Structure 1
């Protein structure tokens, strides 16, 4: 065992001050910040260059809201004592609070050089390594934690998860098996133990040891060590299917009896029979009919049968399904069967069935259809014709329905949708507002109204409507919705500003969407410790997998592509603040004062280590639009999409536009080739191809002219190639 390092003379404290320093640490841990600040000042009176005290005082000040002053003190303390693990740990905490995870991990690594067995630093370092996906280092850190505290269950599971994330499933299995041997007197129905066993079974399944997975599952299910009965049934059915066991069919049937409306269970049952649900297979149709007869209340088998049936069989199944839905007045009936419209034959059959239901069977009566059934049938037909771009027919049916029942909000919403598709955004907004007025407490109708008002180019009216359900003390409804990370609102407002010629405000909202995803990415940090502490391991592994593909979300894709367009446009720098009218300048000044007032009203004792929101001095996005590093920001926005959205041609065209403006011709050519492989006939592709050829020729000509005009000394091999580009006009 190595000898402990001697305390440097400048770190040594007298007995009284050493006791005060321990009190300072205790005050910080118990959030007694004022006492901690007073104690730190007492020590610094006698030892003004004591690095650890300076760092702790800076940390306390950061928690009290005096962040800048605190950070300066921490940096000063680190300079005074570069060999103190406390100084480096505090510096890491400050950097972590600023979301600078790479630098924070470097600080923790430095701290561990001087105190290799500090549990707090090791735990923090493990969380940062998970956040940064540095799994090799994570395995090493978790191994150290387990070696230091082998009696802590969390450390065993943490090391297994680290090996799993690092791709070493066999080692993860060994860790969990050794962990189970250490357990004694586990209480019945222990949720944490149950989750660990389920994770172990998932791991065995992933490794491919299906017999062992099934054995562990069955034995622990009988003893009630695993308490999640649904998970037991699902895993058992899945494992038996992979084993091609005869018991698999019974396992899937048990699941279907447990939940007869789960589509995944039917897919699993049919897959076990070797039948894909998308195929038009007579065997699958027969099975679904059997389930429909044995479980008459379940709608899933009847709906799935419509997908795979054709011809007369489809007509036979569709008629009772549609008529039952219309008689029950199910508003979502059309949305349910809309996917069937890919087949033109099925589309016509559905239209014939629904229209025939309105024809009276008794010639002596005008109609023998129930009033409510009649109303919902008209509603369905209106959606049907609207979907098929028959706007006049849909509007005619809606007028009939509204004269029958003018107080049904769904009819007004359907009319608004028809008008929107026809290009009448103002009429659509008016119809949605009529629906909203029928039920003032319905948030869905309120949100729809705000959305349609934004599309009609009426942001002030939309703000008034959306403000009915937002916080009254917020600077504005939009600010509250942005704080609540409402992607619907941010995307719609951004698109509205872009459509009506305000690229600065549109860019501002698109960047707000980017900020939302950055915050979601940062928020996962808290779960690295929480999930292992609570043993919710299975959901934690799914969380990490989801976070890895976070920026494939459609809202981020749209925001990234649209936000790159102003930056890749050569006219973006011409949009200056002179475009603001006097009224807009006055409104800007008023909003600025309101935001400042809200900021001043926020008072508290413990501000925490999170960086305080920066004051927004660019509320109109003009500085953002004219930013000199706009192209670099656009490139960073688009970078993840090259992996997550490789089949989206709009993404590759946007990457080309940004790359060619940055004079990255090879990158632009690569993007263009990707786009061509996806759709060689895309209308924007030919324009970019011609533009790239012209740009490349012009740039090569300038490069050649510049090279010939320079002296031979500038063309030596030692001259970096990139230096040529900086001088080319």
Structure 2
């Protein structure tokens, strides 16, 4: 007791109560724990440890702010207590503030260096924060304290592995396995099996292939390793690295084990020094091997599909004909998705079209005589051939021909949902978003209980800008007690929904709701990052080391996911727009007050539902066993407060930061990074971003605009700091030569890319920045109407928007030309016509049936 400070020491009765308080918290008996803490504090109100524990209990009872304040008070009362610092760390960890939590644990360990709970928590936080040097030290300490625990040995080996010291990890594993020899490991022990596989993996990573193979064989024969598929895969890989004669047989065994695994065929060919590259000198040998596998395993499709990648000319036609005919006879809807990778080769594309047309001619005559006994072809084969040809034509941009194929198919079988769905896709690609939405509704009504059709129809409504109508559809299958269908889908982390609805709002000019959804995507990725925390302890307890290491690698590249890249770029553009024009946020707030009657009704309903959920959650929080917290209230449902934030550029920079390393080949990332940096007056960072973009594509239209814009930024006051001025001047000269004027640079770019519509638009935008007359800008941008300039719908819409921005009287002229250029498109039509088409898209062909039968 002499080592305990006087202010922390408690009499025996209160000391017993404090131990009871710790037990009550651990067992989540929160009400009893609160009463016990109050008993102690009644006599000793300045006892820091009890104050902290009371605060911790309150946070779990839903009184978070009060609890956190008490914990802070407790820490101030006793700065040398490991319990106070541990509790403060738990509070920070609960708020996902891992850096501060680790600081608290480090402080706690200063006063209790061998506390197992604190050490374990600190190790998990160090792994979460990727502080691997500290992790090795912490795991060493844990092993010294409890050397008899198997997981501490494994945890130290993993710590060394993560820190890049594979040799030390190997030594730790060898020591660990030596201790196991004195024990009897039971047969078919999965934990021991995973450990052995991890040891083999370590040896392979160290380049000790012979030792790895020997260990694998010994443990496979003794049944210490029980994962037979892993044994075969690792053995084949190691034999290939050792250039053993047995490698070919090992890969062949794998192919026979799973004849439809593409990776096994690639491994087999790679072992022989062959690839799937059609230009390879040894391509014919690889082709003969794949054809041999096709004969040996006739039911496997993988070798026949891989052979199509290598073959060319007449040989390709010989191979692709039976492949296509087989898929069409079986009625495989995904046949086109399977082979569209071959369309990168134009001759192959033409051969596929010839074969498909021949198949249509052959099967059309058969379908007219369904009673013929001279053929085994099903009548639906003709239908799937038309479907395939429609996909083929649509992929090549021949939308009219694709629609003709679909009309024939619908006349043949009007009740097949795939036909209506693909017709919707063709119309969407042709620029008729409302027509696409209508076709998806036709498909949905064929089976009202199909969630996929319902979801797809909602997606097409969002693409057409019909947000409220899409929400109504999604509500058919979401929770009925949710605040809204969108809230339920957000809870389920539906990235497709969040991105599509955000894009729809963005397209409609509703930047607040759009930004709200984009930031919800960011929140999903934050949660996925946080979710890995529990696995740092769980995976080591269960000895699932290999999959755990794969998880950490995957988590490190998490934000390279296309959904995050899309959301981060879009959100950063909105933040930049808000910085450039703060009135956007004010306008969004004002528009929120001018809601339609339907919107007001929906908002009122959502508010009532939210209040009910809050009340239910509060009731649950009074339960001693659950300790639930009420659902946090969303005080910015429409994103208007988000738009009015005071630090839009800092928020944009935070979103883009992970992409600089994880998506560094995406030129849009560097353009967005520049846009933020130049507005933050970080000119060096901006110039480096432009240099990175130029390294990817020096002629990219958006980069051309930024080059001129950057010259204007650095040459106008305030001047860049003197310290970076020389470096900046050097980088700037590489982007845009000093001796060339901006006007000349722009003119030269137009000469080089006079047949590129995006480049023409970029030149016109630069002319506006250089304050050229509006007539000159119009003449430039309208050269995109020349016959020799290929243009797509996306670029045409961008030009329409640009003409609107400069208030050009020739905007209608360009719209009319676009209507003639893209006859199927409706996106260029006047608002009145679009309103009528919108009503048509929402018109139901029939009532939704309770159950649809006899649908193929």
TM over 0.5: yes
**Residue 159 of structure 1 corresponds to which residue in structure 2?**
156
Query: Which residue matches 1:541?
Result: 549
Q: Give matches, 1:161-176, under 5 Å.
A: 161-176=158-173
Supply the distance in 2 between the matched residues of 1:248 and 1:575 (Cα, whole angstroms): 65
The alpha-carbon deviation at position 86 of structure 1 amounts to 0.8
Alpha carbons of structure 1 residues 456 and 361: separation in structure 2 relative to 1, 3 Å: closer
Distance (Å, rounded) in 1 between the aligned partners of 2:684 and 2:145: 52
Aligned counterparts of 2:481 and 2:253: Cα–Cα separation in 1: 53
Aligned partner of 2:614 in structure 1 is 599
Correspondence for 2:685: 667
Checking the alignment, whether the CA contact within 8 Å between 1:252 and 1:265 is kept in structure 2 is: yes
**Greater mean deviation of Cα atoms: 178-187 or 577-586:** 577-586
| Contact kept in structure 2, 1:672 and 1:685, CA below 8 Å | yes
Within 5 Å, give how 1:206-355 maps onto structure 2. 206-280=205-279, 281-355=283-357
Match of 1:33 among 15, 30, 33: 30
1:649 partnered with 2:637: no
| Structure 1: distance between partners of 2:656 and 2:86 | 35
CA contact (8 A) 1:289 1:301 kept: yes
* Equivalent residue, structure 2, for 1:42: 39
Is the contact made by 2:31 and 2:624 (CA closer than 8 Å) also made in structure 1? no
Show CA shifts across 1:456-475 (max 9, x none).
Answer: 11111111111111111100
- What per-residue deviation string (whole Å, max 9, x for no partner) do you get for residues 386-438 of structure 1? 11111111111111110110110110011001000001111101111111111
2:103 to 98, 103, 106: 106
| 1:578 is the counterpart of 2:590 | yes
For 2:252 and 2:367, locate their aligned partners in 1 and report how far apart those are by CA, in whole Å.
Answer: 48
> Is contact 1:588-1:619 (8 Å) kept?
no
- Of 374-383 and 38-47, the range deviating more from structure 2: 38-47
1:22 to 19, 24, 30: 19
**Equivalent residue for 1:427?**
435
Whether the 8 Å contact between 1:81 and 1:87 is mirrored in structure 2 is yes
Q: CA deviation at 1:76?
A: 1.0
Residues of 1 paired with 2:646 and 2:286: CA distance?
61
Deviation at 1:328, TM superposition (A): 0.4
State the Cα distance separating 1:585 from its structure 2 match.
5.7
Distance 1:44 1:420 in 2: 69
**Superposition map of 1:510-521 within 5 A:** 510-521=518-529
SS of the residue 2:178 aligns to: helix
Supply the distance in 2 between the matched residues of 1:135 and 1:363 (Cα, whole angstroms): 70
Cα distance in 2 for residues equivalent to 1:450 and 1:168: 51
* CA distance 1:186–1:382, shift in 2 (3 Å): same
Corresponding residue pairs, total: 701
Distance (Å, rounded) in 2 between the aligned partners of 1:513 and 1:597: 26
Q: Which ranges of structure 1 fall in alignment gaps of 5 or more residues?
A: 705-729
CA distance in 1 between counterparts of 2:641 and 2:366 reads 74
Verify the 8 A CA contact 2:96 2:530 in the aligned structure 1.
yes
- Work out the CA distance in 2 between the residues paired with 1:248 and 1:256: 12
Q: Distance in 2 between matches of 1:526 and 1:488?
A: 26
Runs of 4+ in 1 over 6 A off after TM superposition: 361-365, 607-612
1:485 to 468, 478, 493: 493
Q: Indicate the residue corresponding to 1:123 in structure 2.
A: 120
Partner Cα separation in structure 2 for residue 611 and residue 663 of structure 1: 43
Query: 2-side partners of 1:125 and 1:639: how far apart?
Result: 27
Give 1:615 deviation, angstroms: 2.4
Does the aligned pair in 2 maintain the 1:60–1:70 contact within 8 Å? Answer: yes
1:682 aligns with 2:678: no
Given that residues 97 and 611 in structure 1 are in contact (C-alpha distance below 8 angstroms), is that contact kept between their aligned partners in structure 2?
Answer: no
Q: CA deviation at 1:612?
A: 6.4
Displacement, 1:595? 1.9
8 Å Cα contact 2:614/2:630 also seen in 1: no
Normalised by the size of structure 2, how large is the TM-score? Answer: 0.80
Verify the 8 A CA contact 1:221 1:232 in the aligned structure 2.
yes
Q: Does 1:567 align with 2:575?
A: yes
Aligned to 2:457: 449
Could you tell me the TM-score, scaled by structure 1's length?
0.94
Q: How does 1:195-206 map to 2 (within 5 A)?
A: 195-206=194-205
State the distance in 2 between where 1:361 and 1:462 align: 39
Corresponding residue SS for 1:358: helix
Distance 1:411 1:363 in 2: 21
CA distance in 2, matches of 1:313, 1:403: 36
Deviation of 1:573 (Å): 3.5
1:182 aligns with 2:179: yes
Mean alpha-carbon deviation: is it higher for 127-136 or for 500-509?
500-509
Asked if residue 53 in structure 1 is aligned to residue 47 in structure 2, the reply is: no
1:147-172 CA-partner distances (Å, limit 9, x unpaired): 11111111000000000000000000
Contact 1:98–1:611 (Cα < 8 Å) also in 2: no
Cα distance between partner residues in 1 of 2:111 and 2:416: 72
Q: CA deviation at 1:591?
A: 2.9
Report the Cα offset of residue 77 of structure 1: 1.0
Q: Distance in 2 between matches of 1:402 and 1:366?
A: 15
Q: Equivalent residue of 1:438, what SS?
A: coil
Alignment pair present for 1:415 and 2:427: no
Relative to structure 1, the CA distance from residue 371 to residue 361 in structure 2 (aligned partners, 3 Å threshold; closer, same or farther) is closer
Shift of 1:441: 2.2
Residues 373-382 or 570-579, more deviating: 570-579
SS at match of 1:357: helix
The answer to whether the 8 Å contact 1:450/1:466 transfers is: yes
Q: How far apart are the structure 2 equivalents of 1:641 and 1:573?
A: 29
* 1:590 to partner: Cα distance: 4.6
Q: What is the rounded CA distance, in whole Å, between the counterparts of 1:124 and 1:626 in structure 2?
A: 39
- Contact 1:436 1:445 survives alignment (8 Å): yes
Deviation at 1:600? 2.1
Distance 1:96 1:360, change over 3 A: closer
Aligned-partner Cα distance in 2 for 1:236–1:610: 50
Q: Is the contact between residue 112 and residue 118 of structure 1 (CA under 8 Å) also seen in structure 2?
A: yes
Match of 1:710 in 2: none
Change (3 A) 1:5 1:371: farther
1:500 paired residue number = 508
